[in-house]
Amino acid sequence: MLASHLPDFVPHLQRARRVAPAVAFFGGFLWDAITLGRKVGTADLWILGGYLALAGGILWFLGRLDSLALPLVATPATTATPAEAAPWWRVSGPYLLLQFCFGGLFSALFIFYFKSSGHFLAILWALALGVLLVANEFLESRYRRFTLTWALFGLCAMLLLNFVIPHVMGSISAIWFYLSTLAGAGLAHLLYLRTPGRPGRIKPVWGIAAGLILAYLAGAFPPVPLVNRDIAVGHALVKADGEYRLQQEKAPWWIFWRHTESEIHLAPGEPLYCVAAVFAPRGLNTRLYHHWRHYSETRGWETRSRIGFTLSGGRQGGYRGYSYKRNLAPGEWQVAVETEDGRSVTIHRFVISDKPLAPDAPMRAKSF
């Protein structure tokens, strides 16, 4: 009785197979955005390390089969192709699992790097990871090319270690970036050497490592593992009950898409405060800077001051640092939160009006 109804389910199973990658992609990305987009935790890095280890194990397994010239499934003599001899999940299973591992890694790394991107070049780099994340959904059939899979494995290893090693060492010094990039490429090369038959080519992995180092030197690499949580400017700053409260000019009720005015009105000599919250893993200690710049039509962005403060990692809401300036000239301003070597965690732009603040101007308090 059951066998007679099985043909009715075949079209449904085939349709489910076609939509499964899209459902898994959007569901997994949404989950990562909710759980990983706020901080970089030790448990998250362990999970991603598990994905990388599983991908490495699958690559070794596929390499062993390739060296022995064995198919993934036994094929009867009367059968023309492996696809006719066994269900698709036995033929494509290892490649789908490899696609799942790479998808999980690219999804989390895209969110991590995007949250750490504070300027145009760094955002472009993060978007490139987003392109790889989407492209991964269409690469399952190409994972049979070992050179491509080695390149993807090496890239994931380097990007993950760019987070892990600074996390472990408690420092974002440039030396840890270089060492973590070389360690990721070395890990891929070591696995390649240990894989039977050494299928494919490993040289592209070292080309990717060189590209990452050049991107870092050009300032296009985000200052991972730091993650921007929030930044704002306002008129007055007070600390109460363990929170910083920043007074800001409230936008009119009809401008519903933002909370504050687009222009800031300052009285002569009144200070303007900037508060930023930056998340760093527990144990990481470094020094950050508020870089105040004013835009000149003739000279472009000009530095007015660069004020440093020490960051200690671990606080879930981000470590809060603030600075202030008086007698700001009207026009366009920006405050960049930067590392010691000048890499931007985030940039906040605003406009100073040449009109004074109205006595009855509505205000709002923003908490950090």
Q: Where are the domains of the chain?
A: 11-217, 227-367
Q: Tell me what pLDDT residue 238 has.
A: 92
Dist. CA 261–CA 280, nearest whole Å: 30
Q: What is the DSSP string of 207-251?
A: HHHHHHHHHHHTT-S--TT-EEEEEEEESEEEEETTEEEEEEEBP
CA angle in degrees (0–180, nearest 5) for 200-201-204: 135
Q: Tell me what pLDDT residue 350 has.
A: 94
Q: Tell me what pLDDT residue 293 has.
A: 96
Strand extents, DSSP E, the chain: 227-234, 236-240, 243-249, 263-265, 272-279, 285-296, 300-312, 319-325, 331-338, 344-353, 363-367
Q: Which two tokens stand for residue 324?
A: 């202030």
Q: Tell me what pLDDT residue 1 has.
A: 47
Q: Tell me what pLDDT residue 13 has.
A: 45
Q: Tell me what pLDDT residue 254 has.
A: 78
Q: Tell me what pLDDT residue 223 has.
A: 82
DSSP state of 152: H
Dist. CA 61–CA 268, nearest whole Å: 71
Angstrom distances, CA of residue 40 to CA of 48, 109, 202, 251, 333:
11, 10, 30, 33, 30
Q: Tell me what pLDDT residue 89 has.
A: 42
Q: Tell me what pLDDT residue 92 has.
A: 66
Q: Tell me what pLDDT residue 137 has.
A: 61
Tell me, yes or no, if the pTM score tops 0.95.
Answer: no
Q: Which pLDDT tens digits describe the chain residue by residue (368 residues)?
A: 444 444 554 455 445 545 444 444 445 545 454 455 455 567 778 888 999 999 999 999 988 888 876 555 554 444 444 444 444 444 567 888 888 888 888 888 887 777 777 667 777 777 777 777 676 666 655 667 889 899 999 999 999 999 889 888 888 888 999 999 999 999 999 999 999 989 999 999 999 999 999 988 887 788 888 878 889 999 999 988 888 899 998 888 777 777 787 789 998 889 999 999 888 877 778 889 999 999 999 999 999 999 998 877 666 667 888 999 999 999 999 999 998 888 888 889 999 998 888 888 888 888 88
**Class (C level, CATH) for 227-367:** mainly beta
Query: What 3-state class would DSSP assign to 57?
Result: helix
